[in-house]
Every structure is written in C-alpha cells, then in structure tokens.
Amino acid sequence: MIRAVAAPRRLRGTITLPGDKSISHRAVLFNAVAAGNAVITNFLAGADCLATIACMQALGVSIERRATTVQVQGVGLRGLREPADVLDCGNSGTTLRLLAGMLAGQEGLFAVLTGDASLRSRPQKRIVAPLRMLGASLDGRDGGDRAPLAVRGATLHGGAYALPIASAQVKSALLLAALSGDGRLVLSGRTDGRDHTERMLAVMGVDLTVTNGIVQIDPPGRADALQPLSLRVPGDPSSAAFWWVAAAIHPDAEVTTTGVCLNATRTGALDALRAMGARIEVHDQRVEGNELVGDVTVRSSSLRGTTIGGELIPRLIDEIPVLALAAACASGETLIRDAQELRAKETDRIMTVVAGLKALGAAIEPTADGMGIVGGRGLRGAMLDSHGDHRLAMTWAIAGLVAAGETMLDGAGAVDVSYPEFWTALAQIAEG
C-alpha cells in the first residue's frame, strides 16, 4: 500500500495511545498458563499481539477478543496441548522467543515456531544456546540460529547465566523456561532490558527478585502457582515517540499523548529528546497495571544534536529510527553508538534508517554500531519504502510532516504490526 504525506500547517490535539506491545504479549502469554481467568483491556490489537493470541489458541488455551478487550482462560503451568500445526509468529520476535522459552519445559510437547521472512532471518542462537544449557531440546536452521525452530519439551534444570546482550526477549525466554524447571535460575550481566516480565510474574505470585541487576527466580513446583492477572494495558511509549518527535520538529505543534507507560526501562526517548532541547511536559502521573503511566505534551522545539549511547540504548532501542529523524532536523551533530542490536531488528535498522534519511536529503552515515547525523539541512519529500518494518513506515510518515513537497511511502500497511490506528491518529492532529 502506498500513502502520500505532505506537511500540514499545524499539529494539534490529544492522542489516546494503543496498549503497549510488550505488555500486551506478556499479559496473554502469562495468563494463558495461570490458574484461572483474566480480562485484559486496552490490549494492542496489532498483528504482532494477535499472532501471540493465535499461537496460544493453537496450544489449547481458550481466548476471546472483542476489539481491545481479551478474556483468557488460563490452563495452568502444565496444561498446554501439543499444537496440530506449526505456530506462526508472523513478524513478532517477542512471540517467537518468549514462546520458545515457555515451551522448552513442557515435557512431552512438540512444537515448531516459525514466522515471516523477516523473523526467519533474525538471530535465535541468543535464546537457543542458554535454553540448551538449562536442558532444553531445540533446534533450527543454521545450527539453531534461525527459525523455524523445533522445540521438544524437556525436563529443565536451574542454573546461572550472564546475559551478553541487553535483550528483554532473551531474559524473558529464560525466566519462562525456569518457571517449569526444577531449580533456581540466576541471571546476571545485561539484565537492563525492559522489565515487564519480572514485574508481571512477581505480581502473579512467582518467587522472583531483582537485586543490583541480578534476577533470581525459583520455580513454583506447582502447576496452579500462577495467579491470573486482570489489567488495563498502559499506552505504548514506543508508539507515543512518533508523536513526540512530530511535535518537536514541526514549527507549529502542540500534541499530548495520554496514558503513556513511563516504566524507567522504556523512557529513554524522553531523556534523549530532553537532552536535544525538546519542550516536554509530563503530567498526571499515576499507577496502572503495576506500571507508572502519565500524559506527555510536546511542543515545537529548537532541537540540537546530542550523543545517544551506553546505558541509554536499551531504554530507547525501538525509538532510534524516529530519533534519527529528530537528529536530522536538529542543529549540529548527533552520534548514535553502542546500538549494534539495530542490525537484528525487523530490518537492519542501521542500513534502512540511513538509506531513508539520505533519500530525504539528510547528511547521515552508518557506523558499525550506529550512525552519525549532521542535522539542520532541511528535508525534501522522496519515495520511501518501509521494507515491511512498522517502525520505519511510521518514521517516514512523520518525516513527511516536515519535508518539503510530498513524501510517498510504499509498504505503508506495515503500521498494522504495532499501531493499526496510526493513520487515523495522524489525520486527527494534522490541521490545514
């Protein structure tokens, strides 16, 4: 699908965000193995999270969805049934990696996890190697590095593992495997990825502690140990970031996003934008679903370049495409470093972001672990491609709000993966 975007005179309004993608996945996955029923509201009905629902249904869990409300009838930690066919995770790394961990300890159950061409090209050794250490039997193409992955449920044991990369998907896969294991699992190293799994499992009654970055989980040993958790999913900060950048780079803008998840492992984009001089106000902070949420207002700003790297990277990894756009509209230089993980996302986002911003006229060069941008040259509309990557599609749409002339976007439908109402929200705030 091709869409054309041109610069509106003003951006004004309030956007109610869709539910957070990471939390929506986890709410379905964890409640599916809880002992009882749960109701999830403000669930993200994007393709990624719908794939998670379909996989859990194929594993014998009764799940009903009406728009953004989902009812899950948990089957307990030992109640999943062997699926009759391969499990299609679509474009969703979270579905594939968390499910691989969850299924690894389901004794007697065989499953094959696969997905679209993008997902099948992404690295899986990061979960396969440590899961095998816990006793898991799983394999895949490329010596276990690429999906399809075949999992044969086995008896898992505890252990210790130092995470070499700050990946919440790897951390979560291991914690889910440990749930059905027979001994304590201790995770150290790069445990600084998003912590929704730890928070949610702890509230559901799992013996899980986090002390100085060391995550420790003791398997409950009982199939009915996980209490169901009904919750309202907070708004997705990774979706909100598109509106924050849009408002900051547009010359006449004031946009509010409501109910944003402000979990500290997710707010790196706000920190980076503040460092660039963005006019940001966070108000009405409250707690919803065991997460801090608030409303965020951003106004037209004079941005300046900055350095984005180190500890900040895991806290804004999904927002880097749109932050690179902000940097292209800022005065001075921006360096994004320590972000080699971008190469393992839905596309190689170092390559695809640099190519797209170059086409728009930006001065940008790739590096091994990020990119360097000299901002302030002004963008001009171009023909761009999402390459099937939802975050690229939305980044190019936001670029179209400030570029001269018209920006044409091929593959615009990719937004459905994480933000099906994106185009409606855009039309709602674009005036004139």
The site for ligand S3P (CB under 6 A) is made up of 22, 25, 94, 167-169, 172, 193-194, 317-318, 341
CB of 25 to ligand S3P, least distance (A): 6
Nearer of residues 320 and 327 to ligand S3P, judged by Cβ = 320
As beta bridge partners, residue 16 has: 258
Rounded to the nearest whole angstrom, what is the least distance from the CB of residue 162 to ligand S3P in the complex? 16
Among candidate residues 318, 385, 389, 416, the one labeled active-site is 318
CB of 122 to ligand S3P, least distance (A): 9
- Torsion angle defined by CA atoms of residues 32, 34, 39 and 41, in that order, rounded to the nearest 10 degrees: -70
What Å distances lie between residue 164 and 47, 137, 161, 341, CA to CA?
30, 21, 9, 12
Cα dihedral sign, 47-53-55-58: negative
Q: What is the CA radius of gyration of the chain?
A: 21
- Identify which of residues 169 and 300 has a Cβ nearer to ligand S3P in the complex: 169
- In terms of CB distance, is 94 or 267 closer to ligand S3P? 94
Of the candidates 66, 404, 395, the residue with the CA atom closest to the CA atom of residue 243: 395
Please check whether residue 349 is in contact with residue 321, taking contact to mean a CB–CB distance below 8 angstroms: yes
CB of 87 to ligand S3P, least distance (A): 17
Contacts (Cβ under 8 Å, ≥6 apart) of 427: none
DSSP-assigned states of every residue in 197-210: HHHHHHHTT-EEEE
Q: Give the three-state DSSP class for 138.
A: strand
Residue 122 vs 250, nearer CB to ligand S3P: 122
Kindly give the pairing relationship between strand 370-374 and strand 333-336. Answer: antiparallel
Q: What is the DSSP string of 45-105?
A: -SHHHHHHHHHHHHTT-EEEEETTEEEEE---TT-PPPPSS-EE-TT-HHHHHHHHHHHHT
Q: Has 20 been annotated as catalytic?
A: no
Nearer to ligand S3P, 167 or 334 (CB): 167
Task: Name the residue nearer to ligand S3P (CB basis): 54 or 408.
Answer: 54
In terms of CB distance, is 295 or 319 closer to ligand S3P? 319
Least distance to ligand S3P from the beta carbon of 236, Å?
10
Nearest to 277 by CA among 297, 317, 305: 305
Count CB neighbours of 239 within 10 A.
29
Report the DSSP beta bridge partners of residue 65.
Answer: 70
Please state, in angstroms and rounded to a whole number, the distance separating the CA atoms of residues 230 and 233: 10
Residue 314 beta carbon to ligand S3P: minimum distance, rounded to whole angstroms: 7
Minimum Å gap between C-beta 317 and ligand S3P is 5
Coil, strand or helix: which one is 256? strand
Please identify every residue annotated as catalytic: 318
